[in-house]
Chain A
């Protein structure tokens, strides 16, 4: 019998311990699902399905799923929908959702109790930043969570193509003063994210620190308050979604035709590297980032 290498040497943990494989969906909570839906449609998404039991809609473009949740939960600690849509959850694709969930709890994640209706999937979740949640999903290949909990909207294309190759590039998280190391440790410990060197930056808004997912498929950008600005206590949240495109000017042109306006000022303006949409509904915005995928 041959010894496994790890019997002889401390090899530590292998990369990508959860078998992370990108993001299955991003969920926004809002009291104005129609208004958010209009913005998403301008950004190239199409509504494709609705939840069986709750006021929840699925929008899709290319490989991206975005969920609009207008369901008011009676539970404490859950995101209460407001007029301004907030990113309430991120679902990570993993090899084995139950194992990923257990591993996260063993390492200090907070479990979120799930309340499912009959015949609905029990998707395990942990607490993320602020009131947001992180789901673990392992059914995304042969059949999907959408086949169980959602009913397709009749007559619409279930898999609308992506505009200008848009795909999910990452998320921007605002953090409190002096919280950079804490959050880097959190994402490293629970999911295997790695901090990129400071010179490696994407897009046109290079602040903060960037973490790469262990699957190397998406990024988290952590941004602290400007020094000298009084930060509001507890003001930590997922601020915006970054969309990747192989051709930023083309994507900007196509989106502009659909009515999307982009920020053009001295500090922030559209370049080949990226662009930033104006904000809608009191704070919702999207960033475009040059990304070949």
Chain B
């Protein structure tokens, strides 16, 4: 039995963790034993041969696409600002469709121009989800820990409930939950079928008190689960998600300046170790049966 046979099918990496050409990143993810990848829109658009070549590279990689990230600061705007953000959202949705990405990640607004009225936020999220319907894309709404109105997954969940659209759900990011010190007991109130994505990362210090510190940590100093100062909490989060019935994808959402100057295979190997730790030790899964089939349909597994 090789080291690649661990039960990590529902874990994936994110292109933004790695440096180098898109093709090399995808190959490193695949060779580390992952079957899926979260695409960062910037990594797609950055392809020197353009979008079509990036789409071809993703399609040729053999990796399942977890989703496309990130639509930022969409909700709560009015007039021209709103129209502008709708154009941005449409461009990302069309990219997602071209890439075969079934999900678009939208992060909570940090814009000082945005309304703090929950009704307005919910209405805009609803519109975003309706825009995504014809393309067959689900929208996962994520609370940034420095979000202006929505900074915790509990508030994000409230907005998702208010918006009340089938293809709008929640993305939970462990790093933002840890930074915002949201009580994990609150996961009990969330319908696991409406959690569309879980992003996992840790950081090296105990606390990130100020907004500046949170931003610097989240954008440049994330590490893989199991490598940071909150392994117990990340493990606890994953166990609780499994306990409430979450069976969706986990994305190792690590942005780290050091990892961006290390050989790809080395970083991907760290990711694999992290996923194996989560899958085998935290979730205590056995290795998969030979020829195990994934059940068809997202409802079938969440049921």
A183 to B298 CA separation, bound complex (whole angstroms): 16
B131 touches A178 (CB 8 A): no
Q: Is B165 an interface residue (CB 8 A)?
A: yes
Interface stretch of the complex, out of B122-130, B144-152, B225-233, B271-279: B122-130
A199 to chain B, nearest CB (A): 22
Contacts of B131 in A (CB 8 A): 108-110
Q: Is A179 an interface residue (CB 8 A)?
A: yes
Contacts of A110 in B (CB 8 A): 90, 131, 134
A182 touches B166 (CB 8 A): yes
Which A115-170 residues have a C-beta within 8 angstroms of B? 127-129
For residue A180, which residue of chain B has the nearest CB?
B166
Which B92-136 residues have a C-beta within 8 angstroms of A? 100, 126-131, 133-134, 136
Determine which of B90, B136, B166 lies in contact with A176 in the assembled complex, contact meaning CB atoms within 8 Å.
Answer: B136
A108 touches B297 (CB 8 A): no
Which A219-245 residues have a C-beta within 8 angstroms of B? 227-228, 230, 233-234, 236
**Secondary structure at chain A's binding surface: helix, strand, loop or mixed?**
loop
A233 to B131 CA separation, bound complex (whole angstroms): 19
B91 to chain A, nearest CB (A): 12
A178 touches B297 (CB 8 A): yes
Q: Is A177 an interface residue (CB 8 A)?
A: yes
Q: Is B167 an interface residue (CB 8 A)?
A: yes
Q: Is B299 an interface residue (CB 8 A)?
A: yes
Q: Is A190 an interface residue (CB 8 A)?
A: yes
- Chain B proximity mask over A179-212: 1 for CB below 8 Å, otherwise 0: 1011111100110000000000000000000000
Given contacts A106-B127, A108-B127, contact A177 B136 (CB under 8 A): no
A177 touches B127 (CB 8 A): no
A125 to chain B, nearest CB (A): 13
The winner among B90, B127, B131, B134 for most chain A CB atoms within 10 A is B134
A127 touches B167 (CB 8 A): no
Given contacts A176-B136, A234-B136, contact A108 B296 (CB under 8 A): no
Contacts of B296 in A (CB 8 A): 177, 227-228, 230
Contacts of B100 in A (CB 8 A): 233
B167 touches A182 (CB 8 A): yes
A19 to B165 CA separation, bound complex (whole angstroms): 24
How many residues of A are in contact with the other chain, CB < 8 A?
Answer: 26
- Chain B proximity mask over A90-106: 1 for CB below 8 Å, otherwise 0: 00000000000000001
A206 to chain B, nearest CB (A): 21
Q: Is A8 an interface residue (CB 8 A)?
A: no
For residue A127, which residue of chain B has the nearest CB?
B134
B85 to chain A, nearest CB (A): 13
A56 to chain B, nearest CB (A): 24
Which B145-176 residues have a C-beta within 8 angstroms of A? 165-167
- Chain A proximity mask over B284-296: 1 for CB below 8 Å, otherwise 0: 0000000000001
A129 touches B134 (CB 8 A): yes
A293 to B165 CA separation, bound complex (whole angstroms): 35
Determine which of B128, B136, B166, B299 lies in contact with A108 in the assembled complex, contact meaning CB atoms within 8 Å.
Answer: B128
Q: Is A75 an interface residue (CB 8 A)?
A: no
Determine which of B127, B134, B136, B167 lies in contact with A107 in the assembled complex, contact meaning CB atoms within 8 Å.
Answer: B127
A129 to B298 CA separation, bound complex (whole angstroms): 21
For residue A106, which residue of chain B has the nearest CB?
B127
A109 to B128 CA separation, bound complex (whole angstroms): 10
Determine which of A109, A185, A234 lies in contact with B165 in the assembled complex, contact meaning CB atoms within 8 Å.
Answer: A185
Determine which of A185, A190, A227 lies in contact with B167 in the assembled complex, contact meaning CB atoms within 8 Å.
Answer: A185
A233 to B296 CA separation, bound complex (whole angstroms): 13
A52 to chain B, nearest CB (A): 31
Determine which of A128, A178, A190 lies in contact with B130 in the assembled complex, contact meaning CB atoms within 8 Å.
Answer: A190
B23 to chain A, nearest CB (A): 22
Given contacts A110-B90, A236-B136, contact A178 B299 (CB under 8 A): yes
A253 to B297 CA separation, bound complex (whole angstroms): 43
A186 to B90 CA separation, bound complex (whole angstroms): 16
Question: Can you list 18 A-B pairs, Cβ within 8 angstroms, ordered by A?
Answer: A106-B127, A107-B127, A107-B130, A108-B127, A108-B130, A108-B133, A110-B90, A110-B131, A128-B134, A178-B298, A179-B136, A181-B166, A182-B166, A185-B165, A186-B133, A186-B134, A189-B165, A234-B136
Q: Which residues of B contact A (CB under 8 A)?
A: 90, 100, 126-131, 133-134, 136, 165-167, 296-299
For the complex of A and B, the 10 pairs showing the least CB-CB separation, nearest first, are: A108-B130, A181-B166, A108-B127, A108-B131, A186-B133, A182-B167, A177-B297, A182-B133, A178-B297, A178-B298
Q: Could you list 10 further interchain pairs (A-B, Cβ under 8 angstroms) beyond the known A107-B127, A185-B130?
A: A108-B133, A110-B131, A110-B134, A127-B134, A182-B133, A182-B166, A185-B129, A186-B130, A189-B126, A227-B297
